Structure 1
Amino acid sequence: MPVRHFDFFTAERRLVHTNPISLLKDTRLGIEGNHWLRKLLQNHVKEPAVVAMGGIPLGLRAAIERELDLLK
């Protein structure tokens, strides 16, 4: 079941903070996949012909790999 308006919920309550990624060392991280992919598609993968051709954007795989490399 998706969390609707998650961005607004966290922003209103000031739950989002920026810290060094090293704080996550030796922790287990859960990422809501649907939300993450939607944000990735909205912000990083912009290809004009995707609507006409259908399917997934050609740059999606590279964008996902870049995001995952940040967490390694």
Structure 2
Amino acid sequence: MGVVWFLPFFLALIFNRRQAKLIAIACVPAGLSVVAWSALMVWSVTGKAAEKYLPKRVKARLETGG
């Protein structure tokens, strides 16, 4: 059961390393809600995919931090 509870965290380690710590913290209460747990699943697997489709100017802005 613990593996399923923290599945978003394990997927975040693969797909969304930047926010894996936040996702791990959010897994604790989200395991009690199917909606919240599902949202974490989406968040954990879309980390790099979202950045892949951003326009070049937005990517450059994110990389420079401004």
Same fold (TM over 0.5): no
TM-score, structure 2 length as denominator?
A: 0.27
Relative to total residues, which structure has the larger helix share, 1 or 2? 2
TM-score, structure 1 length as denominator?
A: 0.26
Question: Which one has the largest radius of gyration?
Answer: 1
> Which structure carries more relative contact order (alpha carbon 8 Å, separation 6+)?
2
